[in-house]
Amino acid sequence: MRTFIIAIALVFVAGDVHSQEKPDSLDNYAYYFIRNNAKEYIYNYVYKNIAAFNIRYASYSFNMLRFNDKFRTNGDFFYQYLMPDHGYKLQMNIEKLDSVYPNPKFHLYQIYLSGFNFIADIHGLPEDHSLRPKTTNYFLVALNEDNGDIKFISGQFFKSYISDDFGINKEDPNTLLPYLRLRAFDVGGVDLKFKKKKHHKWIFEGYSTIYKGPLTITVNTKDIDDTQSVVKAKFSVQLEAK
């Protein structure tokens, strides 16, 4: 009887060990952080995406950076304002949402930035007081915690293709609304309605709860993941560099 109980226990232990095995698609870094600290895993990828996007589209009108590909002094290093020095990291609040993503393997996470505010990651370092480039404060991503895949949904960074997850009917623009509500997360887009079709564009209108003004979203009918949001508040806010 004792031998039988031990054998059953070993079966359960083996099963549990197997369930914890690292998927082949994950490297050791990803596996460790997803298992132990999913927010740190998200931070790593989101920060790199934000920095890369803002360096790629650096301009004073877009993010208050003056791009120049020839340097005279260290003061011309425009990318310094997007890349923290050793011992600092971008201040980023990451929270898991209860909202459901169409693909149940993914969980939604909202991210809040107070501009490009770098905080000390090592005790004793002074506060950082560098220039703060312009950025959206709110971001939305989805994470597959089984394999580490990230979908970059909304915010001032490079976006992922996600429209295929929503079962969109191209003959009915209203089927885009659930998709657009997530794309417009960075402006707090609500009350979205289809307005009209103009050439190869669908025009949707709504309201931005963050910028407190009318919101217009333009969707390329030939590439639904190509969207552009503009808010008409006290000043116009264009949220896509390209």
Residues 69-103: tens digit of each pLDDT? 777 777 777 777 788 878 888 889 999 999 889 99
Spatial distance between the Cα atoms of 178 and 183, rounded to a whole number of angstroms: 9
Of residues 17 and 211, the one with the higher pLDDT is: 211
Give the strand order in the sheet containing 138-144: 93-100, 106-112, 138-144, 150-154
Residue 34, in any domain of the structure = yes
Per-residue b or e along 23-36, where b marks 16 or more CB atoms closer than 10 Å to that residue's CB: eeebeeebbebbee
Query: Does the pLDDT of residue 17 top 60, yes or no?
Result: no
Alpha-carbon distance of 207 to 135, in angstroms, equals 19
- 105 is a domain residue: yes
Question: Is position 50 within any domain?
Answer: yes
Residue 181 lies in a domain: no
Containing structural domain, residue 95? 25-160
Whether 209 maps to a domain, the answer reads: no
> How do residues 183-205 score in pLDDT, each as one tens digit?
999 999 999 999 999 989 999 99
Establish if 79 belongs to a structural domain.
Answer: yes
**Considering the domain boundaries, does residue 206 fall inside one?**
no
215 three-class SS:
strand
In terms of DSSP H, where are the helices of 37-186?
A: 38-56, 60-63, 177-183
176 within 8 A of 165, measured Cβ to Cβ: no
- The domain total for the chain is 1
- Mind listing the pLDDT tens digit for each residue in 206-233? 999 999 999 999 999 999 999 999 998 7
- 36 within a domain of the structure (yes/no): yes
